[in-house]
A = this chain, B = another copy of it.
Amino acid sequence: MTKRLTGRDTEASAPAQGREAILAVAKKQFAEYGYHGATLSKIATRAKVCKANIFHHFGSKEGLYLAVLKDYCEQLSPLRGSRPISAPTCREQLRQFAQVHLENMLNEQGAVQLFLRELLAKDSLRKEILAKGVLEDNFSSLVQMVREGQEAGEIRPDIDPAMLAVMLLGADVFFFMARDVFQHFRDVHFAEAPGDYSKALSEILLKGCLAKRD
């Protein structure tokens, strides 16, 4: 009775309380400053809870970080299905995938930032488990997609499907990381237009850049 209902807090940006408030703030902090750069004091302050309360809920900084990681995972995984890839031809599927994937990354900046940082770390403890879990989803979807395209005779059979997948994902990751810097390059016109970027990307992936020689 004395306890307030906290059920609907997840919807919208209503100020969560207790455990959830901590988690929400921690996600931001870890994403922005990395594991070592983030501090429990700051997280506690911003979440308007006592520092000791963090330990009550998460046991340790490491524990909190893992909870953040897990939360980000759950937040990321279902997204792939948010706008289902469905098109008759493989080339069209790839175009859609390129578009949707980049959109998702930009919608989940915190999660992506954290994962990429994890990739750069040397621990390899969490790196394998987590990054693999997130990457593999997208990766095997793509590979499967390409394989079907090859079986349908649409994609060249001498193409390594994994290679294609890496190129698409890599282009998106690089865009995500360097978009701030791109804005200061005069040769770049797509810095603020992810849609155009995705289109041009899939175009080159499909047709290559060589002029047709006849």
Contacts and interface: CB of A to CB of B under 8 A. Distances in A.
Interface of A: 32-37, 91, 113, 116-117, 119-120, 122, 124, 127-128, 131-132, 135-136, 139-140, 143, 146, 153-157, 159-167, 169-175, 177-178, 180-182, 184-185, 187-190, 197, 200-201, 204-212
A208 B211 contact: no
B211 A206 contact: no
Point out which of A34, A180, A208 has the most chain B C-beta atoms below 10 A from its C-beta. Answer: A208
A206 to B, nearest CB: 5
B162 A185 contact: yes
Contact of A210 (B124, B156, B197): B156
Contact of A208 (B117, B128, B185, B205): B205
A155 B112 CA distance: 34
A41 B79 CA distance: 42
A209 B164 contact: yes
Contacts of A165: 187
B163 A170 contact: no
